[in-house]
Structure 1
Amino acid sequence: MGAMADKPAQAERKKKKPRPRWQHILWIIFKIVRIPVLCVLAVYIGLYIGYTKLGHQPSGEILHISTWRHLYDLVFAN
């Protein structure tokens, strides 16, 4: 008989309030954007560690176009 008394309490716990539309849209945008943001963050952290800590170069040069041209020339040189 104890199991019968628990059913209404369980039914009430399972009911969730529907989210407002703006929260639903915001959650979808977050789910779409999080992977690219994490990828860019991982690349930046890798660049920082590799270029400044291992290469002993100034961190301000990570985003200079001349640095990227030099790296491109090193990788794709004949």
Structure 2
Amino acid sequence: MKTHLRGPGRILRSRIPELAYQEIWASLLTHWALCTLICTAATATGIDPDRIKFLGTVRIVRRSVTDRAAFSP
């Protein structure tokens, strides 16, 4: 998760423990959402979900998102 979602060498931005937990949960939920997307796409096309690359899915989703959140994380 750290390698593919956040990028190498990046650390948590939160300085307060509660916010660090929140940032970790957000990363875990993002990972879960991407895995759910992979399973849904694989089921719809009739292929094995293990044949879909996680990093490829991350890149596709990042290209698809055109509007960033209107608030600072």
TM > 0.5 fold call: no
TM range (shorter): 0.3 to 0.5
After TM superposition, the score normalised by the length of structure 2 is 0.43
Hey, which of these two has a bigger chunk of helix by percent? 1
Higher relative contact order (CA 8 A, sep 6+): 2
Structure with the greater alpha carbon radius of gyration: 1
